[in-house]
């Protein structure tokens, strides 16, 4: 395992894409600027787009300026970072690319001392992973170099259904040892998501109420105001269920629902999350409509400017039935959670960017303040994952005045106020973990398979039944009207973040 000052080379496939632009490069830069990136390092970027190394570095400078948490303190510091960036154009389906990558890596490794540690990163549409892994195997690049370690990070969605995820696992197993493989889900690297386990298991007061006796329902929302931007081609093969629900939202559900692990180590944490996946009630293929709903955005507004509907986005088929919104109602059939509904929803071009987990508790069994008009809101605990990261507990309090009136007040922990500044980006933490060889915050193969198995009836219903409902919603709204009816069937309503 490389220590903090051991060298490494990161090889990014799909380096002209959105992930590299908005997340990977800004995270690498912030790590470097905070002096936490092991050195010496090299970042070898590849994609089909033809451009020179100079042009790539120029684009990365722009992207860091736009998206990085830490900004370059001076051009000199940026230049030192940029000197480690290489761009090797090529098609990941072409064997010749791997020979060129091997030569580039050998040259870089010869020019500096230390072990030849390599980290490959698949940041392309998932349909290309097969080709990349096969070529890494055939070219010999998958094998660790003498004295070094070689690892591979595979972006979500891992496969596109249960069968393809298993096939991908078999292919990875034929090329890499399991300890080399890192299945990334960047939500697990978010500070506020890591805080869920700290909040639950480092405080004695929450665990006693964290069960069906006290919790009435859990709502998990990951709302984006962004549309599909330049990613139409990728998104058409994914959709909201594969892009967000199968990974990010189910991971959040597991962190809320899991039992305490015996320690905060990869094995115990992942074991407990898997038990939740086993406890999730399977979805009945004949009753998908009762537990799953999808939608697609039409034209509307984003931040007060008019925007086109999904079908008019670049790279999207005019008659596309890809969902940009998905909602699920899930039950965790175990002792702790029996009967508590978990509502999950995610969508693009919603009213605002807001990710949160809201836990609504039961009302008091008997209300003694009968004269308070309007009754009292049930207690709720809201974990805000982003933006305005924090945790708020809503309790009832007496409002000032001669009458005994009650109103909700929020006990609010705001990350920015307490710790100052923005929390580090998820990719900063996760890239470091992969470089250092710590898989605790990465997804395990059996978890991923279980997640696909759970959603398979929904995937089938949405892809095979031509008339399966696809509800329209206006860009800039909170999703389709049908989503309100979906939750109202149980007597509930969606929280407005
Ligand atoms: P993009 O579509 O923006 O980028 C994909 C990259 O793959 C581009 O560099 C493109 O480069 C290359 N590519 C696309 N099609 C092909 C093809 N047919 N053959 C060869 N290369 C191709 O996607 P993203 O960067 O958004 O997503 C990539 C992965 O990252 C996905 O698995 C996604 O789930 C994941 N991800 C994305 C996040 C994000 O915020 N964007 C966040 C978390 C995960 P070129 O055309 O130059 O070859
Ligand atoms: C990615 C999805 O996994 O997560 C994107 O592919 C989505 O569609 C992104 O925009 C959201 O991540 P974040 O960290 O901005 O909430």
The CA-atom distances, in angstroms, between 463 and each of 171, 294, 295, 320, 480 are: 26, 12, 14, 12, 20
State the distance from the centre of ligand 1 to the C-alpha of 78, rounded, in angstroms.
25
| Per-residue pLDDT tens over the stretch 419-457 | 987 788 999 999 999 999 999 899 999 999 999 999 999
Please state, in angstroms and rounded to a whole number, the distance separating the CA atoms of residues 148 and 380: 50
Ligand 2 centroid–CA 348 distance in Å is 10
How far, in Å, is the centroid of ligand 2 from the Cα of 467? Answer: 29
Is the model's pLDDT at 188 over the cut of 60? yes
Query: In the block, which residue shows the tokens 């094998």?
Result: 143
**Residue 1 reports pLDDT greater than 70:** no
Distance between CA atoms of 239 and 308, rounded to whole angstroms? 17
Checking if the pLDDT of 4 tops 70, the result is no
Report yes or no: 354 and 221 within 8 Å, Cβ to Cβ: yes
pLDDT attached to residue 467 = 78
Ligand 2 centroid distance, CA of 244 (Å):
7
| Alpha-carbon torsion angle 256, 262, 263, 264, nearest 10 | -20
C-beta 486 within 6 A of ligand 1: no
- pLDDT at residue 209, rounded to an integer: 97
Residue percentage of the chain with pLDDT more than 90? 87
pLDDT value of residue 2: 46
Identify the weakest region by mean pLDDT among 85-94, 97-106, 341-350, 463-472: 463-472
**286 has a pLDDT exceeding 70:** yes
Q: Is 352 in the pocket of ligand 1 (CB under 6 A)?
A: no
Domains contained in the chain, CATH given: 8-155 (3.40.50.720), 188-423+470-488 (3.30.360.10)
* Ligand 2 atom nearest residue 353's Cα: 16
Q: Report pLDDT digits (tens) over 232-256.
A: 988 999 999 999 999 999 999 999 9
Instruction: State pTM to two decimals.
Output: 0.94
Q: Quick check: 274 pLDDT over 70?
A: yes
Ligand 1 contact, 126 CB (< 6 A): yes
61 pocket-lining for ligand 1 (C-beta < 6 Å): no
Q: Whose CA is nearest to atom 15 of ligand 2?
A: 224
Q: Which ligand is nearest to the CA of 157?
A: 1
Span from the CA of 436 to the centroid of ligand 2 (angstroms): 24
Of all protein residues, whose CA lies closest to atom 13 belonging to ligand 2?
Answer: 187
Q: At what angle do helices 250-257 and 191-201 cross, to 10 degrees?
A: 20
- The answer to whether residue 337 scores a pLDDT higher than 50 is yes
Ligand 1 proximity of 48 Cβ (cutoff 6 Å): yes
Which one from 186, 214, 248, 366 is the annotated catalytic residue?
A: 248
Å from CA of 106 to ligand 1 middle: 26
Choice among 69-73, 209-213, 290-294 with the minimum mean pLDDT: 69-73
Q: Nearest C-alpha to atom 29 of ligand 1 is from which residue?
A: 123
- In short, whether 427's Cβ falls inside 6 Å of ligand 1 is no
What number does the ligand 2 atom closest to the CA of 222 have? 16
Please, which pLDDT band fits residue 285 given cuts at 50, 70 and 90? Answer: very high
112 has pLDDT over 90: no
Q: What atom of ligand 1 comes closest to residue 231's alpha carbon?
A: 2
| Apex 191 CA angle, 295 and 20, nearest 5 | 65
186 is known as an active-site residue: no
Task: Give me the long-range contacts of 407-410 (CB less than 8 A, separation at least 24).
Answer: 408/376, 408/377
**Interatomic CA distance for residues 83 and 108, integer angstroms:** 12
pLDDT of residue 366: 85
Arithmetic mean of pLDDT, 162-191: 95
Span 54-68, pLDDT tens digits? 999 999 999 999 999
């Amino acid at each position: 395992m490389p220590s903090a000052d051991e060298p490494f080379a990161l090889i990014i496939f799909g380096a002209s894409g959105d992930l590299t632009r908005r997340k990977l490069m800004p995270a690498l830069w912030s790590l470097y600027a905070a002096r936490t990136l092991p050195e010496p390092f090299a970042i070898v970027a590849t994609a089909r787009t033809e451009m020179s190394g100079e042009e790539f570095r120029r684009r990365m400078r722009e992207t860091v300026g736009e998206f990085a948490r830490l900004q370059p303190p001076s051009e000199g510091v940026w230049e030192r970072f940029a000197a480690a960036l290489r761009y090797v154009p090529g098609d990941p389906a072409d064997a010749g690319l791997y020979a060129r990558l091997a030569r580039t890596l050998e040259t870089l490794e010869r020019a500096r001392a230390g072990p030849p540690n390599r980290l490959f990163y698949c940041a392309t549409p998932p349909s290309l992973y097969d080709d990349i892994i096969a070529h890494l195997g055939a070219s010999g690049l998958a094998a660790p170099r003498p004295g070094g370690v070689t690892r591979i990070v595979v972006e979500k969605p891992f496969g596109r259904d249960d069968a393809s995820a298993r096939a991908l696992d078999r292919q990875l197993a034929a090329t890499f040892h399991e300890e080399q493989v890192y299945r990334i889900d960047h939500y697990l690297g978010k500070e506020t998501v890591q805080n869920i386990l700290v909040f639950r298991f480092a405080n004695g007061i929450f665990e006693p109420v964290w069960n069906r006796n006290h919790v009435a329902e859990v709502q998990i929302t990951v709302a984006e105001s962004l549309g599909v931007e330049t990613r139409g081609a990728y998104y058409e093969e994914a959709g909201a269920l594969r892009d967000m629900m199968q990974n990010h939202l189910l991971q959040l559900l597991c962190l809320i629902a899991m039992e305490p692990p015996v320690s905060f180590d990869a094995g115990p944490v992942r074991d407990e999350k898997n038990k939740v996946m086993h406890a999730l009630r399977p979805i009945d293929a004949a009753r998908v409509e009762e537990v799953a709903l999808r939608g697609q955005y039409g034209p509307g507004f984003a931040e007060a400017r008019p925007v086109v509907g999904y079908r008019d986005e670049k790279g999207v088929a005019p008659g596309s039935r890809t969902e940009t919104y998905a909602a699920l109602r899930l039950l965790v059939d175990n002792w702790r959670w029996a009967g508590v509904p978990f509502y999950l929803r995610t969508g693009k071009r919603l009213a605002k960017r807001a990710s949160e987990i809201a836990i609504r508790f039961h009302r008091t069994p008997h209300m003694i303040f009968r004269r308070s008009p309007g009754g009292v809101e049930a207690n709720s605990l809201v974990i805000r994952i982003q933006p305005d990261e924090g945790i708020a507990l809503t309790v009832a309090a007496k409002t000032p005045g001669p009458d005994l009136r009650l109103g909700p007040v929020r006990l609010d922990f705001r990350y920015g106020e307490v710790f100052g500044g923005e929390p580090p980006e998820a990719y900063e933490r996760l890239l470091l973990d992969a470089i250092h060889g710590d898989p605790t915050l990465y997804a395990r193969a059996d978890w991923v398979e279980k997640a696909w198995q759970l959603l398979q009836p929904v995937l089938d219903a949405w892809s095979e039944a031509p008339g399966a409902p696809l509800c329209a919603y206006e860009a800039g709204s909170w999703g389709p009207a049908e989503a309100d009816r979906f939750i109202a069937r149980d007597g509930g309503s969606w929280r407005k973040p």
